[in-house]
A and B are shown apart, each in its own frame.
Chain A
Amino acid sequence: MTPEPVLSVERLVIEVARTGARVVDDVSLTVGPGEVLGLAGESGCGKTTLSLALLGYTRRGLAASSGRVRVGDRSLLEMGEEALEHERGSLVTYVPQDPASALNPALRVGTQLEEVITFHRRNEDRAGRRGLVTKVLEDVGLPTTRSLLESYPHQLSGGQQQRIAIAMAIVNRPRLIVMDEPTTGLDVTTQARVLQTIRDVCREHGGGVVYVTHDLAVVSSLAIRVAVMYAGRLAEVGPADQVLQRPAHPYVHGLLQAVPDIEGRRELTGIPGQAPDPGRRLEQCLFAPRCPLAVEECRQAIPPPVAVGEGHRAWCIRVAEQAGAPVAAGPGVAPREVAANGSGALLAIDDLDAGYGSRPVLHGISLSIPTGASLALVGESGSGKTTLARCIAGLHTGYTGTISLAGAQLARAARARPAAAREAIQYVFQNPYSSLNPRRSIEESIAQPLHYTEEHPDRAEIDRRVSRALDSVSLSAAVRRRYPHELSGGQRQRVAIARALIVEPRLLVCDEVTSALDVSVQAVVIELLDELRRRRGLSMLFVTHNLALVHSVADEIAVIEGGRILERGPVERVLARPTSEATRALVANVPRLAPVASGAG
């Protein structure tokens, strides 16, 4: 690193002011000019707290207790609020995760862009400001028309809003741009465009970018260097290709194994257990309890950084054992046979049109799921996939056409269906944080459906079946008396699956069940679903926007766009030789772990 770094963080510690629990612990980083640093880690690891500290900001209740943050020649943590206000937006800028809430809904976007310029460059005249706005809109690939500048944020799509937010961040040519998962809420096509913009902007004016994300695939396509955090500390820092191809830290290795791969060359493997919360972090290697390579020494002290290569360090004393083990060592996912048990379709949808009020959402959908088969319904947001899933579950009744289960036509509303049909189709929701009643214990939640079945099992029987259901999702009996807020996201999603399984369903409708989960947890849940399917002969409708997951859960895939099924067929065929343009674009735009793809492809 010969050139003067744009950003240097030295031994930064951020604590909860009241308890002294460390949220960010002893983090040192540098970013050079023109460099993109990918800051990766799972939820709760402190990456957002760290990224905000780069702007000299800590959330209420948190305080930077030691360490330094320097951007260019300014030391941000020592500045007063007024001085910081001046630097934010010109020296260092921020692109938040959710563009919809970052833009002022009451102001036209053109006004908002000009405001950023006016605040920091007071002597710029009107024509000069207009010129800057036009230039920056070209930079982010938006049309420079008046109609765009005069529209309000809600009139733009999510991708356009995000690009406006990026434009606001780069218009003053800052030294450092901090981006907090700016592509999470976007579909893949938009994501790819936004990522390209960031790369170009960074290269052109020699600023640095810190790109915060939980998605390692995004990191691999964007970042020059990667820093992976775990439980508030750095786990590994190094050049992206090295870290992603030959990770030196067992956690990073595990994380990479958990990233789904669209080519299906790796069996998904999750990392059991979970990271400790702030305040419960001991003076030892925090990953040791989950680490396959942990030895007694790991539990003695916080591991020092160990140099693995040029500019590549890992905070692990077992790097010698880990280094060199390439990711993707597994045998790969075996091609599946479409399991049709002769008996024909379990679920058949025929010529279904659905809408909300007068707004049509689905057009002429015909689909069937054979008994024991798993169908992935893939589409971008707004394609109508969730609406279709809700029609099947009896939650959305505004449709024409028929849905039949094992040959018998189903009533539209769930309440109008016979009990047997309601039990046969079970729905697992996207967000495990809202699908469990927070006032009910886990045991009560799982047993809830049993009270409304025809057989009315007695207490002992309920108890037995709850145990069996918990067992089948690998949760210990200890969670029975807990409440949802005491469980992690992955555990909650497993509880939701247990609740679905307890009535012995025939079809499981999984609506984006892993999109709210971290990758290592996502992999665990996917493993679980796949195992249940094989062992119990469950049929599954797996609704997702994530094509990369499809290999691990489905034998057939149906691509939906604009409310129409574009194509349908075996997973291998559709991914390898898509027949429609939209599918091709979807497949091409999935972020991949680039080094792995080039190494094996």
Chain B
Amino acid sequence: MTTQQDTAPSAPEGRSRALWLDVLARTCRSRRGLVGLALVIPIVLIAVLGPFLAPKSPTAFVGLPYAGPSSEAWLGTDGIGRDVLSRVLWGGREILALAVLATVIGIVVGTALGTTAGYVKGALDEAIMRTLDVALAFPQIILALLLVSIIGPQLWLVCLAVAAIHAPQVARVARAATLRTVEQDHVKYAEAFGIPRRRVILGEVVPNIISPVMVEAGLRLTYSIAIIASLSFLGFGLQPPSADWGLMVNENRIGIQQNPWPVVTPIVLIAILTVGVNMFSDAVARSALGIEAPIAPPSMSGSDDALGGADHVATEVPAS
């Protein structure tokens, strides 16, 4: 046996960290990602820190209805004379928290369903996917409205309803990625060694579909924000007298000619948040595509057993 110390082709130290960290780092270096972050961070800060900075109570009456901006109330007052600035500072928390929570639940449930369907295949796969297809057939917001109007405007219900809107889409993405991954020989190896199915899904499949699921997560977060803002505009979110951006728009749209600020400010904030999240998740998607660990086969292949199902297309690995 020749003893040998071959050096790895390209292995700078420290490259061995988790993939998603790599993706994030790369995203934050891209222009698109930076702009997205620059848009999102101020809004998040407003939503999270706003209540501590608000000059007045969001429910206190400080002046006449629809008073214009003054030194007393910088953005004027709303329909019943409350300070708009304070209500704006208080009103982002729930939207943001609900959107994130609903997205997380949707992603987790969707990924669990999708990977299970794609890994187990057969009748269970059919059952899961056809059920999800039925759920997908409902227009998104109608499904949420239906649930909320039956059970009542509860925050947890809004959250679950939005998560339920996301799960089928996420499941489809996860399943497609799973179908590709289970053809890989490392999954076959785990099966040949009798490793329990749950461990195979968690250890072999899930880590390898993180990229497409992350990309989907960004998109879903954007939708979450839009849907939750719409629901609270329609009155199914926080109830009066609480401050909420969506609700504010609805409450004050009659007075838009006297004082536009209670309508315009929340709309602008929601718009910036949505655009920012969208840009950031788009940047994540791009860097995830670029970073994807090379699993490509080498530049040549021998004959392979066509019946074995493991035949791979021979492609030259780019030499760059």
Contact = CB atoms under 8 A, between A and B. Distances in A.
B188 A429 contact: yes
Nearest to B305: A386
B194 interface: yes
Contact of A515 (B1, B189, B193, B304): B304
B191 interface: yes
Given A274-B9, A435-B186, A483-B16, A44 B299 contact: yes
A427 interface: yes
B208 interface: yes
A449 B193 contact: yes
Interface string A10-50: 00000010110101000000000000000000011010110
B142 interface: no
Given A16-B320, A422-B192, A488-B8, A437 B204 contact: yes
A567 interface: no
A481 B16 contact: yes
Interface string A410-437: 0000110101001000010111011111
Given A62-B320, A437-B207, A43 B300 contact: yes
Given A488-B9, A515-B302, A395 B2 contact: no
Interchain residue pairs A-B with the least CB separation, the first 8: A515-B302, A386-B305, A386-B308, A435-B185, A272-B4, A439-B207, A43-B299, A429-B185
B10 interface: yes
A517 B297 CA distance: 10
Interface string A525-554: 001100100000000000001100000000
Contacts of A415: 191, 194
Interface string A152-190: 000000000000000000000000000001001111000
B192 A385 contact: no
Contact of A384 (B15, B191, B305): B305
Q: Tell me the interface secondary structure of chain A in the complex.
A: loop
Interface in A255-280: 270, 272-274, 277-278, 280
Given A437-B207, A487-B8, A488-B6, A427 B192 contact: yes
A97 B186 contact: no
Nearest to A232: B319
Interface stretch (B253-261, B270-278, B310-318): B310-318
B320 A278 contact: yes
Contact of A433 (B1, B5, B297): B297
Q: Tell me the interface secondary structure of chain B in the complex.
A: loop
Nearest to A499: B189
A62 B318 CA distance: 10
A375 to B, nearest CB: 17
A441 to B, nearest CB: 6
Interface stretch (B54-62, B132-140, B212-220, B288-296): B288-296
B312 A434 contact: yes
A483 B207 contact: no
B184 interface: yes
A595 to B, nearest CB: 23
Contact of B189 (A21, A185, A427, A517): A427
A383 interface: yes
Contact of A531 (B1, B19, B196, B210): B1
A436 B208 CA distance: 12
Interface of B: 1-11, 15-16, 19, 183-186, 188-196, 199, 203-204, 207-208, 210, 293-308, 310, 312-314, 316-320
B120 to A, nearest CB: 13
A49 B297 contact: no
A516 interface: yes
A483 B8 CA distance: 10
Contacts of B300: 43, 97, 181, 184, 214, 516, 518
Contacts of B1: 474, 527-528, 531
A140 interface: no
Contact of B186 (A186, A387, A434, A546): A434
A274 B192 contact: no
A394 interface: yes
Contact of B6 (A272, A481, A514): A272
B302 A545 contact: yes
A135 interface: no
28 contacts: A16-B319, A18-B320, A43-B300, A97-B300, A98-B314, A184-B302, A273-B4, A382-B305, A384-B305, A384-B307, A386-B308, A386-B310, A387-B307, A387-B308, A433-B295, A433-B296, A434-B183, A434-B186, A435-B186, A435-B188, A439-B293, A452-B195, A483-B15, A486-B9, A486-B10, A488-B9, A512-B305, A516-B301
B140 to A, nearest CB: 33
Given A43-B298, A62-B319, A433-B298, 19 more contacts: A43-B317, A44-B299, A48-B299, A48-B316, A273-B7, A383-B305, A386-B310, A395-B188, A414-B191, A429-B189, A433-B294, A437-B208, A440-B203, A440-B207, A474-B3, A486-B9, A486-B15, A515-B301, A518-B298
B191 A439 contact: no
A87 B26 CA distance: 42
B9 A23 contact: no
Given A61-B318, A474-B1, A474-B4, A434 B302 contact: no
Contact of A482 (B16, B183, B194, B307): B16
Interface residues of A, number: 93
Given A43-B298, A43-B317, A486-B15, A380 B303 contact: yes
A386 B302 CA distance: 13
Given A49-B319, A273-B6, A517-B298, A434 B16 contact: no
Contacts of B184: 434-435, 437
Contacts of B308: 386-387, 390, 511
A491 B9 CA distance: 10
B307 to A, nearest CB: 5
Contacts of B6: 272-274, 488, 490-491
Contacts of A277: 9-10, 319
Contacts of A272: 2, 4, 6
B4 A44 contact: no
Given A381-B305, A382-B305, A486-B15, A278 B319 contact: yes
Contacts of B183: 434
A276 B105 CA distance: 47
Contacts of B193: 414, 422, 449, 452
Contacts of A19: 320
A447 B319 CA distance: 32
Nearest to A43: B299
Interface in A170-215: 181, 184-187, 214
B2 A356 contact: no
Interface string A344-373: 000000000000100001000000000000
A479 interface: yes
A515 B194 CA distance: 27
A65 B298 CA distance: 26
A393 B192 contact: yes
A591 interface: no
Contacts of A407: none
A100 to B, nearest CB: 8
A438 interface: yes
Contacts of B295: 433-434, 438, 485
Contacts of A395: 188, 191-192
A275 to B, nearest CB: 9
A435 B319 CA distance: 22
Given A437-B186, A482-B16, A488-B9, A394 B192 contact: yes
